[in-house]
């Protein structure tokens, strides 16, 4: 794990930023419920997903062509402006449905441009052999920040309303802007894509996915990571609690176990360094699929064990596979591959949620969890049959584009 104060400082900044995001999400959802019907409130909260999905591929092209740090800086300045404008709107016109929709859409557009660039930063801060540990620490910082922000969100919106929540989140983004502008500097610059029309850049990204089997396997496998686990945790746990009479407190406790397990799994990588990260990561996801099956059956205690296993495997696997993904993708295409990967969740998640609900309504939550969990276990075993995936190793230091970028940077410095 790196001891670079700039890289470590970025972990703290990410935790603060995610705390602000979680606080804002809670405030937006809480306010939407109080100014609209539950159905409309759900549409408000989801309003940002459609524009994000539409613009996400453009964000990938921008991330590969421009300096990611500068893209992140500009987008965060826009976020601050959106939040300040929202707070002023609330003061002048009150909290209305239009301001909620406009704010949600604006943030969705910002996310689409920001996320592909932000996904490349770890690879620019630490060498390839440190990516797994650094990604684990990053995952832990993100989860702890989100937990703290969600806990504060209800308090802030109750005390100061949507406007106060917007100001609080604007302050966190202002800190991020300051760090990006004054402190953060890439150690291992990525190669940049050539300038070309945007649609051609998008098409070239899909062409790269077609021509690179290892990249294609990773992107397709990782695109489906959340399609089984998110419905099981969001709907399955709530339905089990309702059917068994466990109460709302049990739902909160089980969700907290997932978050705690994920933090433990991510932190374990600060000490544990498997030789073949992709192999271990995908086996952990096979285990996660089997644990999803366990969510649908048994007592509260066995369900708690199942969600804890889901959390630990998610934290460790996402850290390992995130590091492999960053190190294995050609740096000139990393932003576009990230956008394609995240597009899978945005497009397919509504269908996955609806399908889980339909299965649970027709055949029971146990069968829904079993179907989704076993499907995930089978799908995550497919990459394990690919020799190229089994050979991937960050510890070799020579087989990945990230390692080659680091060697080039070292040569230039020498």
Q: Is residue 67 pLDDT above 60, yes or no?
A: yes
Q: Is residue 84 pLDDT above 90, yes or no?
A: yes
- Helices 198-211 & 334-363 angle (0-180, nearest 10): 70
Q: Which residue has the higher pLDDT, 111 or 34?
A: 111
Determine the pLDDT at residue 69. Answer: 93
- Could you tell me if 301 and 250 are in contact, meaning their C-beta atoms sit under 8 angstroms apart? no
Residues 6+ apart with CB under 8 A from 184: 6, 9, 10, 69, 121
Instruction: Specify the pTM.
Output: 0.79
Determine the pLDDT at residue 323. Answer: 86
pLDDT digits (tens, 9 = 90+) for 288-313: 999 999 999 999 999 999 999 999 99
The SS3 call for residue 206 is helix
Going by pLDDT thresholds of 50, 70 and 90, the confidence category of residue 402 is low
Give me the residue label for tokens 């969890």.
Answer: 369
**How does DSSP assign 302-349, residue by residue?**
HHHHHHHHHHHHHHHHHHHHHHHHHHHS-GGGHHHHHHHHHHHHHHHH
Determine the pLDDT at residue 411. Answer: 31
Determine the pLDDT at residue 1. Answer: 55
Q: Is the dihedral of CA 146, 150, 155, 161 positive or negative?
A: positive
Determine the pLDDT at residue 255. Answer: 79
Q: Mean pLDDT, to the nearest integer, of 1-23? A: 86
Determine the pLDDT at residue 39. Answer: 63
CATH topology match: 5-190 vs 212-413: yes
Q: Is residue 407 pLDDT above 50, yes or no?
A: no
CATH code of the domain occupying 5-190: 1.20.1250.20
Q: How many CA atoms lie within 13 A of 368 on its CB side?
A: 27
- Region of 186 (left: φ > 0; alpha: ψ -120 to 50; beta: rest) is beta
CATH code of the domain occupying 212-413: 1.20.1250.20
Determine the pLDDT at residue 189. Answer: 84
Residue (of 379, 375, 383) closest to 293 by Cα position = 375
Domain ranges of the chain: 5-190, 212-413
Q: Mean pLDDT, to the nearest integer, of 346-359? A: 84
Q: Is residue 401 pLDDT above 70, yes or no?
A: no
Taking residue 202's Cβ as centre, other Cβ atoms within 10 Å add up to 17
Residue (of 348, 340, 347, 369) closest to 357 by Cα position = 369
Going by pLDDT thresholds of 50, 70 and 90, the confidence category of residue 42 is low
């Amino acid at each position: 794990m790196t001891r670079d104060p700039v890289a470590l400082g970025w972990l703290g900044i990410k935790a603060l930023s995610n705390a602000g995001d979680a606080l804002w999400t809670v405030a937006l959802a809480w306010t939407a419920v109080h100014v609209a019907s539950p159905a409309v409130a759900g549409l408000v909260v989801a309003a940002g997903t459609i524009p994000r999905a539409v613009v996400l591929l453009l964000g990938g092209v921008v991330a590969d062509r421009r300096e990611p740090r500068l893209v992140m800086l500009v987008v965060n300045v826009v976020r601050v402006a959106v939040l300040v404008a929202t707070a002023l709107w609330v003061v002048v016109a009150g909290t209305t449905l239009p301001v909620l929709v406009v704010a949600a859409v604006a943030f969705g557009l910002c996310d689409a441009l920001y996320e592909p660039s932000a996904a490349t930063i770890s690879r620019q801060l630490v060498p390839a052999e440190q990516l797994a540990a650094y990604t684990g620490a990053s995952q832990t910082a993100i989860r702890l920040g989100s937990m703290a922000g969600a806990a504060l969100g209800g308090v802030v919106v109750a005390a100061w309303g949507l406007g106060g929540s917007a100001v609080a989140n604007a302050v966190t983004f202002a800190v991020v802007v300051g760090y990006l502008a004054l402190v953060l500097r890439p150690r291992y610059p990525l190669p940049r894509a050539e300038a070309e029309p945007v649609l051609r850049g998008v098409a070239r990204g899909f062409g790269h996915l077609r021509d690179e089997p290892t990249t294609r396997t990773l992107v397709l496998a990782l695109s489906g990571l959340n399609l089984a686990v998110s419905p099981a945790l969001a709907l399955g746990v709530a339905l089990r609690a309702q059917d068994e009479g466990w109460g709302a407190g049990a739902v909160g406790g089980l969700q907290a176990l997932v978050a705690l397990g994920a933090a433990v799994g991510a932190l374990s990588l600060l000490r544990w360094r498997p030789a073949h990260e992709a192999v271990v990561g995908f086996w952990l996801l096979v285990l996660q699929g089997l644990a999803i099956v366990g969510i649908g059956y048994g007592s509260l205690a066995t369900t708690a064990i199942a969600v804890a296993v889901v959390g630990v495997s998610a934290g460790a696997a996402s850290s390992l596979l995130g590091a492999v993904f960053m190190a294995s993708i050609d740096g000139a295409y990393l932003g576009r591959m990230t956008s394609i990967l995240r597009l899978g969740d945005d497009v397919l998640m509504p269908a996955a949620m609806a399908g889980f609900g339909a299965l649970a309504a027709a055949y029971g939550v146990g069968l829904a969890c079993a179907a989704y969990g076993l499907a995930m276990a089978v799908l995550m075993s497919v990459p394990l049959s690919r020799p190229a995936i089994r050979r991937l190793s960050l510890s070799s230091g020579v087989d990945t584009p990230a390692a080659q970028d680091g060697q080039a940077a070292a040569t230039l410095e020498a």
